[in-house]
Amino acid sequence: MFQIYLPIAEISVNLLVMLGLGAAVGFLSGMFGVGGGFLLTPLLMLSGIPPAIAVATGANQIVGTSVSGTLAQWRRGNVDLHMGAVLIAGGVAGALFGVLLLRYLRGLGQSGLIISMTYVFFLGSIGALMLWESVNAMRRQRAGKTVSARKSGQHNWIHGLPFKMRFPRSRLYISAIPPLVIGGMVGLLASFLGVGGGFIMVPAMIYILRMPTNVVIGTSIFQIIFITAVVTLLHATLNHTLDIVLAFLLIIGGVIGGQFGVRAGQKLRGEQLRAMLALMVLGVALRILYDLVARPTDLYSIIPAVGG
């Protein structure tokens, strides 16, 4: 009844399932202030969408959800445009490299393995760190101490680097090199995994760049628009793997779900949110790890030859 044929994925999916999937991921992304790609792309693959199409289409969906997210943050003055521009410059270069790398690995038949291993490594380590940090914060809160993620005025090795720039909104005067490199790494991951990379960008901004927490989410989600837009364009142009019909369904669901997620998120405390997000990130990592380690039900696989 609600089956719809996807022209690029060349399969038929249930309209309501895809809308629901977009809404569920949008809800979580609105709630936690992340793009949600790290959930969406694996879920798309689990529902039978070919991995390459899941990556490109997932990126396109994140463009939509991060536009609404950015507008909400923008009005609260939480976007650092200067920092965003530097991160985007690095990110675009990283994304280009990532798309080309993915293309090369697909030819070798190893793209699935590398994508899975990258997911396990990043999701596993970041999920564990976040869980540890948020549990500690909750414990300190219970002990009655005030919590501050940022130790203002503290100097580290980053302050020794050249090409210093002023970032007024973040009240920072640091070298442009660390944000460029971080932007590049996240861009690489974004194109590679079909994610926005917020789950890496946010900790990197807090712990390496020492940006104030209030501008971190806004700036991260702002630069994600541009990175995922570039990733979408690159995949569409070089690999022909963007399914616009699927993307449309996911975006509709995602934009609506995202708005409800933001409201739900405001009812929860920060460290509770972070602990829940951490558990979810770890859950996805474990699931992907299991698929790598467990004996596959079918050892053989077939794919169309590249260039055929």
Partner 1 sequence: MRAAVLHLALLLSLLLGASAQAQDAVPPPPVAKPGTSQEKVQADISTREIAIQSNFTGVEILIFGSVDFSDTRTPAFGSYDVITVVRGPNKPIVVRKKTRMAGLWVNGPGKTYTRVPSFYAVLSSRPIRAIASDDVLRRLGIGLSELNFGRDTTGSPQEQSFRTAMIRLMEDKRLFTADDSGVVFIGRSLFRATVVLPVNVPTGRYVVDVYLFRDGELASKTQGSLEISKAGIEAVIYKMAFHKPFLYGLLGVAIAVIAGLIGWFAFRRD
Rounded CA separation 169/159 (Å): 18
Joined together, the tokens standing for residue 301 give 């696989």
Determine if 81 is a binding residue for partner 1 (CB under 8 A): no
164 touches partner 1 by CB under 8 A: no
Q: Does 267 bind partner 1 (CB under 8 A)?
A: no
| Least distance CB 228 / partner 1 (angstroms) | 8
Query: Residue 22 and residue 6: Cα distance in Å, rounded?
Result: 16
Q: Which residues does 180 contact at the CB level (< 8 Å), separation at least 6?
A: 86, 87, 89, 90
User: H or E element: which one contains 50?
Assistant: none
Enclosing H/E stretch for 267 = none
Number of residues forming the site for partner 1 (CB under 8 A)? 60
Cross-strand bridge partners of residue 3: 14
| Closest CB 25 distance from partner 1, rounded Å | 14
Among 68, 191, 219, 223, binds partner 1 (CB under 8 A): 68
Compose the 47-66 pattern: x for residues touching partner 1 by CB under 8 A, - for all others: -------------xx-xxxx
With CB under 8 A as the contact rule, the residue among 137, 236, 275, 282 that binds partner 1 is 236
72 lies in the site for partner 1, by CB under 8 A: yes
Does residue 300 interact with partner 1 by CB under 8 A?
yes
Taking the CA atoms of residue 219, residue 220, residue 223 and residue 227 in that order, the dihedral angle to the nearest 10 degrees is: 180
Which residues does 139 contact at the CB level (< 8 Å), separation at least 6? Answer: none
Helix (H, G, I), strand (E, B) or coil at 144: coil
* Residues in contact with 171: Cβ distance below 8 Å, sequence separation at least 6, in sequence order: 212
**12 near partner 1, judged by CB under 8 A:** yes
Stretch that binds partner 1, among 85-93, 134-142, 199-207, 244-252 (CB under 8 A): 244-252
Cβ nearer to partner 1, comparing 143 with 299: 299
Residues near partner 1 (CB under 8 A) are 3-5, 7-8, 10-12, 60-61, 63-68, 71-72, 75, 109-110, 112-113, 117, 225, 229, 232-238, 240, 242, 244-245, 247-248, 251-252, 255-256, 258-259, 292-296, 298-306, 308
